[in-house]
Structure 1
Amino acid sequence: MKDSIKAELEHEIEFTVNENKTVPKLYPESELFRTMPEVFATGFMVGFMEWACMDALAPHLDEGEHSVGVHVNVSHCAATPVGMKVRAKVRCTAVDGQKTSWYVEAYDEKELIGKGSHDRFTINVERFNQRVAKKAQSPS
């Protein structure tokens, strides 16, 4: 990771909620999920916040690096219908070696829909993939 990543870095992204990002689509294998209202799912909102953090970090990563989420503490405080734009606003609150910490917020066109904190860890993709492959091959 480059030295250019600093606390107080801010970033925003936008997305229009479609039916594929609603609660019934989060786990279509579950009858409980399939029968829920078609609103922006908490799981997809968290992913949207992570996306904003990844996008903010991308210019500060070296070749062969990526970041992975390691901690999420987010509240989802308002429902968002299909077709509405959502905006994620993120601010880096700390850089500690390969770990970055973020304050995250999401808004739809009407109000704040979620907020909290998120930590990411910068990894070497090749080494990470090797560890995952080794784990998959080892007996339980």
Structure 2
Amino acid sequence: MRAEIQLGHSFEWRYIVPPRATVPALYHDTPFCLDMPDVLATGYLVGMMELACLHGLMPFMDWPQEQSLGTMVQFRHLAPTPPGMTLTIRGSVLAVDGRRVRFQVEAWDDVEKVCEGIHERQLIDPARFRDKVARKLAQWHAGASTDAAPVEPARDER
């Protein structure tokens, strides 16, 4: 880390909702989604909330040698947002536990509040993380059984 992450550190990030972020466009390969309302998909909104928190961490990370990945989301999608509107996402750091950071986050479109909740991110060494993914892929390609009980990785390996 370049600097210690401060509790209460706040940030704001804006994003114009593109047509590809709507339910029918995002899930275009799922027939029953094609007739759904043309509004911002919850899954896409979650991604934008995550990116806003990543943006908020940037001043504290030695990017790209240090990065962060989402580990927990707990959001309420409160109102629909049509494409073309601007999301304004505001957040603040609630807690820091080692390399894990917890945020309070809210989003508004051009008319109203559309989302609120909590998000956690884990600071990672991307080279170490890529090695972990490569080992997992090698195990999968080698035909490792998926019938075995899952093994919970140590917290510092996530």
Greater RCO (CA < 8 Å, at least 6 residues apart): 1
> TM-score, normalized by length of structure 1?
0.95
Cα deviation, 1:76-118, whole Å, max 9, x if unaligned, reads 0100111111111111101110000000101001110000000
SS for the counterpart of 1:104 is strand
> TM-score, normalized by length of structure 2?
0.85
SS for the counterpart of 1:58 is helix
What does 1:11-90 align with in structure 2 at a 5 Å threshold?
11-63=11-63, 64-90=65-91
Larger radius of gyration between Structure 1 and Structure 2? 2
Q: Which amino acid aligns with 2:12?
A: E
Aligned to 2:7: 7
The answer on whether the counterparts of 2:3 and 2:61 sit within 8 Å (CA) in structure 1 is no
CA distance in 1, matches of 2:109, 2:19: 15
Q: Which amino acid aligns with 2:126?
A: V
SS for the counterpart of 1:121 is strand
Query: Tell me, which stretches of 5 or more residues in structure 1 are unaligned?
Result: none
Cα deviation, 1:55-83, whole Å, max 9, x if unaligned, reads 11012112411000000000001001111
Aligned to 2:134: 133
CA distance in 1, matches of 2:33, 2:61: 37
SS for the counterpart of 1:25 is helix
Q: CA RMSD in A?
A: 1.1
Q: Which amino acid aligns with 1:96?
A: D
Cα deviation, 1:11-59, whole Å, max 9, x if unaligned, reads 0111111211111122222112222111011111111111110011012
Q: Which deviates further from its counterpart, 15-24 or 119-128? A: 15-24
CA distance in 2, matches of 1:60, 1:80: 31
CA distance in 2, matches of 1:24, 1:106: 22
SS for the counterpart of 1:82 is coil
Q: In the comparison of the two structures, how many residue pairs are matched?
A: 140
